[in-house]
Amino acid sequence: MRSRNDSTILADRNSGAATPIASLRGISKRFPNVVANDAVDLDLFPGEVHALLGENGAGKSTLMKILYGFYSCDRGSISVDGEERRISSPLDARMLGIGMVFQVFTLIPAMTVAENIALYVPDLSVRFTARSVGKVIDELGDRYGLRVDPRAAVRDLPVGDQQKVEVLKLLVGRARILIFDEATRVLAPHEIEGLFEIFEMLKRDGYAVVFITHKMREVLACADRITVMKQGRVSGTIEGRQATESALVARMFGGSVPDPVFRQGGDAPGDPILELRGVRTHPIGMGVGLRDVDLVIRAGEIVGVAGVSGNGQRELGDLILGLIPCARGKRWILDADATTWSAGKIRASGVGFVPDDPLGMAVVPWMTLAQNAALGDVETYARHGGLSIDWDHVQRDIAASFDELSFEALDAYVPVRAFSGGQLQRAVLSRELGRRPRLFVASYPTRGLDVRSAMAARRVLVDLRERGGGVLWISEDLDELCRVSDRLLVLRDGRIVGEFLPNEMDRQRIGHLMTDSGGADA
């Protein structure tokens, strides 16, 4: 196991850290549709937090995945400890001491923390005992503020603790460079502070921490060095102490950041479109059951739902769509008691949706755009009692919808799995909005999208509100929610624990509600 006295304690910070622990030179990487990295140079030094800042699609994640051996670069070189190295797989990277915490964890939910980490212990004995691994976990945990119970099953841990297990995995595997890809996405505001404290402790022992993010505020709070990327190129590197928001903005966007005002703050919302009264649901599998949910969505209103993933967001959306039955309580849609309605009936009454995983949950991947569009409303397109389908009508509707939403046209006869994330989201939105829904359930509608697509998605949903629709907007991006919501709800453990009006939205308070953490100077 790891000993504190070996040479992995890196360069003393006081010496000025002149030698980079890793260097990337001239990295270029191209994917079929896009240039992800274009001649990127980067130096990583031990004992400092280096932030990679840029919008979604700027190439930061790709660059680090190349360093981690997940992708191979088309051109360029990587040096570790001054020597040029070929990194062709994550195994190679780990041998060199490079570790990465991804946005989607590679943990095994059913196994315990100790078992998960044991998989990463080099020279694990043939007879494996949970206890010895547990001891190491406790030691490391105490040292770096990563305390978790080794005997707990990973699936029982809150997301923040799961992230700690991911970090422990890397430390146990003798990583010296720790890369965090959008690590704050799943954390509540005060948990983010906790993460930065962990960065400090790691820094102190000479680790090099790379922090990929698109949030300026976070970068300014923790980074010693900031590299800004834009459209696959490095647009500047600034020392943390000297960085200002405007300097960063200038490098991220090349001008001023487009900040459309979303809330017109005009007409009061109209009649209720959705009402949930005292709803309770049974938990399914490893999910959460909703309890005592009272919710109203009115016409011309966006209701935002904030919360840590896994606290009932998916259940809430599915409940409204009719995919989960109400164990207790009532569900009213457009003045009709929809408590016992099937998903098909609810959909037919004017409810649309965009799920958090469009490819997996809203379309049939091998079918074409036309086929998927037809599936969106089969009855409308069926002829002769169902014996045939009017494909011309489908075509016309697709064109009309794309036009109305100001989306670029897409090839209607290609399997939709060939589309990029943004294109697919637009296709789904076009199908759903083309049906003129009165109620819309949007789950994480802009997650992982490039800037243009994210803006387009926001725009059409806000337009829906302007036209009198009611929108339930579930997101983990608090900034986004605060910008678009007419009312913001906080969901925790299947309960609505808070409701905020625009002038009350205090990120700290919301964050504490999200994680049930006292709120008093945690």
Partner 1 sequence: MHRAWGGIAQFVKRGWTVAAARYAGILGGALIAYAAVLLLAGKDPIRAYADTFSFALGTRYGFSEVLVRMIPLLLTAVAVALPSRLGLINVGGEGQLYMGAWLATWGAITLPSLPKAVFIPILIVMGFVGGGGWAAFAGFLRARGWVNETITTLLMNYVAPLLVGYSVYGMWRSREVGSAAFPQTVAFPDAARLPRFFGTRVHLGLLLGMVALLGLWFVMERTKWGLKMRAIGGNPEASRRLGIRLGLYIVVVMFIAGGIAGVAGMAEVTALHGRLRAGFSPGYGFMGFLISWLAGGSPLGILMMSFVLAIVFSGGTLLQITQGVPFSAINVLMAIILFVVLANPRFSSGALRRGFQRGGGRR
Partner 2 sequence: MSWELLRGVISGTIMYGVPLLYTTLGEVIGQRAGMVNLGLEGILLVSAAVGFAVSSWTGNPWIGLGVAGIAGSVFNLVYAFLVVTRRANQLASGLTVMFLGMGLSAMIGRAFVGGGSKGLVRYQVPGVSLFSWATKSIFSYDLVVYLAFPTAVLVWWLLFRMRWGLSLRAVGESPSAAFAAGRRIAVLKYQAALLCGFLAGIAGAHLSVALARTWSEGMTGGRGFIAVALVIFSKWHPLRAIVGAMLFGGAVTLQLQLQAQGAAISPFVLNMIPYLLTLGVLWVWGGARRFAAPGGLGRVYLGEE
Which x/- pattern over 405-444 shows residues binding partner 1 (rule: CB under 8 A)? --------xx------------------------------
Residue bearing tokens 């095994």: 108
Q: Is 127 in the site for partner 2 (CB under 8 A)?
A: yes
Q: Is 365 in the site for partner 1 (CB under 8 A)?
A: yes
Query: From the CB of 95, what's the least distance to partner 2, in Å?
Result: 10
Q: Looking at 103-111, 203-211, 482-490, 510-518, which segment touches partner 2 (CB under 8 A)?
A: 103-111
Provide the residue count of the chain.
522
Rounded to the nearest angstrom, the gap between the alpha carbon of residue 509 and the centroid of all alpha carbons in its chain is 21
Q: How many CB atoms lie within 10 A of CB 404?
A: 13
The listed partner (partner 1, partner 2, none) that binds 101, CB under 5 to 8 Å by sort, is: none
Query: From the CB of 111, what's the least distance to partner 1, in Å?
Result: 24
Q: What angle do CA 221, 222, 227 make, to 5 degrees?
A: 105
| 305-364: contacts with partner 1 (CB under 8 A) | 321, 323, 342-348, 353, 355, 360-364
- Contact criterion met (CB below 8 Å) for 157 and 164: no
| Residue (of 484, 483, 454) closest to 472 by Cα position | 484
Distance CA 92, CA 210 (A): 18
Query: From the CB of 93, what's the least distance to partner 2, in Å?
Result: 11
Q: Is 388 in the site for partner 1 (CB under 8 A)?
A: yes
Q: 25 φ, ψ to 5°?
A: -130, 125
Q: Looking at 102-110, 138-146, 344-352, 467-475, which segment touches partner 2 (CB under 8 A)?
A: 102-110
| Residue (of 351, 317, 314, 316) closest to 336 by Cα position | 351
- What's the token pair of residue 72? 């191979």
The listed partner (partner 2, partner 1, none) that binds 103, CB under 5 to 8 Å by sort, is: none
Residue bearing tokens 């990337």: 24
Residue 18 or 91 having the CB closest to partner 2: 91
Distance CA 335, CA 55 (A): 42
Instruction: Tell me the residue ranges of DSSP E strands in 348-451.
Output: 351-354, 382-383, 388-389, 439-443
- What's the token pair of residue 496? 């609505």
| Residue (of 150, 145, 253, 151) closest to 203 by Cα position | 145
Q: Looking at 13-21, 146-154, 200-208, 371-379, which segment touches partner 1 (CB under 8 A)?
A: 371-379
Residue 20 or 322 having the CB closest to partner 1: 322
Q: Is 366 in the site for partner 1 (CB under 8 A)?
A: yes
Q: Looking at 28-36, 108-116, 211-219, 306-314, which segment touches partner 2 (CB under 8 A)?
A: 108-116
Q: Is 118 in the site for partner 2 (CB under 8 A)?
A: yes
Mapped onto helix, strand or coil, the DSSP state of residue 302 is strand
The listed partner (partner 1, partner 2, none) that binds 375, CB under 5 to 8 Å by sort, is: partner 1
- Contact criterion met (CB below 8 Å) for 57 and 450: yes
Bridge partners of residue 100, in order along the sequence: 179
Query: From the CB of 151, what's the least distance to partner 2, in Å?
Result: 14
Q: 23 φ, ψ to 5°?
A: -135, 135
Query: From the CB of 404, what's the least distance to partner 1, in Å?
Result: 21
Residue 285 or 518 having the CB closest to partner 2: 285
Which residue in 32, 258, 265, 386 binds partner 1 (CB under 8 A)? 386
Which residue in 102, 196, 262, 391 binds partner 1 (CB under 8 A)? 391
Q: Is 92 in the site for partner 2 (CB under 8 A)?
A: no
- Contact criterion met (CB below 8 Å) for 258 and 250: no
- In sequence order, which residues have a C-beta less than 8 Å from that of residue 448 and are 6 or more positions away? 56, 421
Which x/- pattern over 454-483 shows residues binding partner 2 (rule: CB under 8 A)? ------------------------------
Positions touching partner 1 (CB under 8 A) are: 321, 323, 342-348, 353, 355, 360-368, 370-371, 374-376, 378-379, 381-382, 386-389, 391, 413-414
Positions touching partner 2 (CB under 8 A) are: 90-91, 94, 106-111, 115-116, 118-120, 124-129, 285-286
